[in-house]
Structure 1
């Protein structure tokens, strides 16, 4: 009976592999994938420009729709608008393509919703604010809306002299943007601001901050950065975002602290002014106590 309980407990706390299948051809690696929890569907893109949408049914991953994009790598792919739209972002062309989710996803043509004049790198999505943050691989990160990626709302300027891909991310429920850089720094921007609100220095600031991750909740925010300089280290920053409500802080805490400080200062002042009166007798008492302790110790030995 005990053995069965332990086995059940182990199975409930452990992950078990349910699917192991090849989704693209030999040598065609997976670039990115996204999951729509409302329909249990998975969308994946490949290095050779293939796109596939799959339905997870128990232990099977069934393909329900596929398409190939010519001469471009679909670098990122996301379900947006509550899973109603699948959007891809191409590295070479800068295109963002929108695929409405039809009933069977077999005959729905794609909609080319944006054609940029330069490449695009990493992409981040903020579902709550419906924002898209894209590395433009020229002068920083461009901000769009997921509903209509036809015009740039704002560009967060991050200087770069080399064409590398930098990660960007949203934090604090989309109120801030964190951007990687070439110079070993991560820049924190607030919206409608040309200058960063804060600059995070990763170590000595010599490596390229290409990877970062952000975690925010109602009480605090965490930012982690990784550099591409061979040191294989990460830096983590934490910021408290919730200040205790005023009604939870006792109103008399400050008054009591001030009164205690005044009392201590008065005691020290009186002790200093009457030093000649109490210091000699205090020394005499200490000498008597020391002699008694010494005598008692010798008697025990």
Structure 2
């Protein structure tokens, strides 16, 4: 059923999205951003475009799409220059960044929109190791926020500039990634009672990325355990389970891995890995 807003009646977006978009060439990202934001406009959302350059140039990029142009005319589209908002070399505060978007989402709802949708080119915010570490933590944290609130985002990263390894560190903290992706995804769109969701493959390609993602996720303990919704996990090797056991030991907790796979339980038993309990996912 369409939900009325002060802008008219539009169908609500079928799902909230948090997408990592690796790109090669600025034009490709702009085209994807236009499409992503236009989808939000059709759903009655306020949309925000964040990218390098001055606001006039950013506005011009959106006006090239008639759907975004119409949204600009009626005040449903906002633009922000990442260059003006963040000094060169700035390291984001993960929790503070989430608070900013939570406030913007609340403002959009108060103005009569159905939610907030953001397309952001964050390349300039992840050029140093410290920046990548902080931003990866933020990506996981904001995904938890989006899982329970009407906010969606597409995060763009220039693969040619940053390299596939850096983009993978960020992509694995999203539910979905396109180009420059990762073999697995550890994100906040989990079913009730779980600290995070885990999907994809934990294999040889994941051997360095997986422990890093675990630490950055800052998984929340509840009742003495950390539950991971791994119903979407397609493969896990012994190295990844050893890394998970090491994580549990460092944090003096038990990790409950809820998966449809039969091999993890057997491997945990064979390798005698303390700190991991495997449960069958529904």
TM-score, L = length of structure 1: 0.26
Task: Look at both structures and tell me which one has the larger radius of gyration over its CA atoms.
Answer: 1
Higher strand share: 1
TM-score, L = length of structure 2: 0.27
Higher helix share: 2
